[in-house]
């Protein structure tokens, strides 16, 4: 009888410890991201706005630009993380060959993302460096970006990704101000729409990943 009581006590202790571990796992799993890395590659077009738009109109240049962007998103916790971005744009003039200027963006951003079964939404914002060539001269300055993205599931690892972004960068140059008859330094602002592919790398430590 004593042996049975001891066995029952041991079984009770075992299941108590097991249930506590399961509860702890569930609490920890709430913070664990389903993905480790999210990589998106997007092409699209941007529309210049603000004073820079007026500058381009006055100079006879195009007010739209093709864009090509790469984002590498690293999840820190379940819904948030940091992402690195490399983007590009240009200024195209009908009399310039091949282009009048080029713009390369390098930035670090924070993002928040929420996943449903077939889609996910991402919002992001950050800043970095804007590398610009105008009149064959090279300039580096700061830029800011904020945007929102929508991913549509193709399979467990691949998504069709679309994003809408606002970018603002500074272009300080006495040479440009004189050449383009500017009353103040240019602020390059644009609205960009991009579409492409996002690849998700799953987190092997997430217990929901099978």
Q: Which residues contact 125 (CB under 8 A, 6 or more apart)?
A: 109, 110, 144, 145, 146, 147
Q: Give me the residue spans of the domains in the chain.
A: 1-30, 33-202
Tens digits of residue pLDDT in 118-148:
999 999 999 999 888 766 666 778 899 999 9
The answer, yes or no, to whether residue 173 has pLDDT greater than 60, is no
For the domain spanning 33-202, the CATH number is 2.40.160.20
Q: Quick: pLDDT tens for 81-130.
A: 999 999 999 888 777 665 667 889 999 999 999 888 899 999 999 999 98
């Amino acid at each position: 009888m004593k042996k049975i009581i001891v066995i029952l006590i041991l079984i009770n202790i075992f299941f108590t410890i097991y249930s506590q571990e399961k509860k702890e796992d569930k609490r920890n799993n709430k913070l664990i991201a389903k993905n480790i890395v999210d990589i998106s590659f997007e092409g699209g077009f941007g529309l210049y706005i603000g004073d820079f738009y007026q500058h381009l109109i006055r100079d006879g240049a195009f007010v739209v630009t093709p864009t090509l962007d790469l984002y590498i998103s690293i999840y820190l916790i379940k819904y948030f993380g940091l992402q690195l971005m490399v983007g590009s744009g240009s200024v195209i003039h009908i009399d310039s060959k091949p282009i009048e200027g080029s713009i390369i963006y390098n930035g670090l951003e924070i993002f928040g993302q929420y996943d449903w079964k077939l889609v996910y939404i991402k919002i992001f914002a950050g800043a970095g460096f804007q590398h610009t060539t105008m009149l064959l001269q090279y300039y580096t300055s700061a830029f800011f970006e904020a945007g929102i993205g929508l991913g549509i599931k193709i399979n467990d690892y691949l998504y069709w990704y679309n994003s809408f972004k606002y970018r603002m960068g500074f272009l300080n140059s006495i040479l440009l101000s004189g050449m383009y008859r500017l009353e103040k330094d240019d602020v390059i602002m644009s609205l960009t729409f991009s579409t492409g592919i996002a690849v998700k790398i799953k987190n092997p430590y997430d217990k929901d990943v099978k």
